[in-house]
Structure 1
């Protein structure tokens, strides 16, 4: 592999790794699963990185790859995420310790979000990341109108879950 490409990838991943951590947080229930999913998403990002053309922002592309990987693995494993061993490329990525103490007040919200279906989870995640509906529709491959309608329905659904 091209060392310049590898360096660029590692730098971008280190800079944007919170995107991956946040996706992992929504689709996993424990630290081991979180770590496994993080590794799997990193592998998929690395495989796809040479094909990234820059048609969208790198962060939008990373969200799309991360969400698609998480959803695919989630569906395949029926709530248990299995990862593949990938020994041919070893990255030396400085990972930030993922500190969820600042997210403790969101515990109930995460619990409610986990009850949503895969697409609803992805949409809420992007909404909570302050993505506008144009970015949400690009990332999820749906129309902007559809994203707005779905988000309104999800808000109602979450209110019902949180306030039975």
Structure 2
């Protein structure tokens, strides 16, 4: 298991400043509380590459968080999908606009999503995931990135690690 929790300098304003974004995407993303980012957005590339998990994940996330605004951060029709061909489930990159407020519910959603989608592997405790969550807390001006790679059954360690770091 590998868990990294770091302060980073990426903000929503930085994401909205990317070249080539449509005006409608910028407006929608600016008003969203949760963004699903292409993996490349965090690495400062303009090409949007999403994992093959993204469409299903996005659809179910919108259903679960119906009261919140969620945006797939890419110009329509410009997305590219990366097929997953390994045992590792590479989940979409999430950007949370209000710090850690949504984190417990997001982790709970991810665990439930994995249980439904990969029931057999979850029962046998053989499912590994890669997760990247970025949380911008505008009140204190900090952006925190959580990178986790490890067993899906250990996702709850993220919450306890965040609590320990904030002490």
- Smaller-chain TM-score bracket: 0.3 to 0.5
Pick the structure with more helix per residue: 1
Greater relative CO (CA pairs within 8 A, separation 6+): 2
Pick the structure with more strand per residue: 2
TM-score, scaled relative to structure 2: 0.32
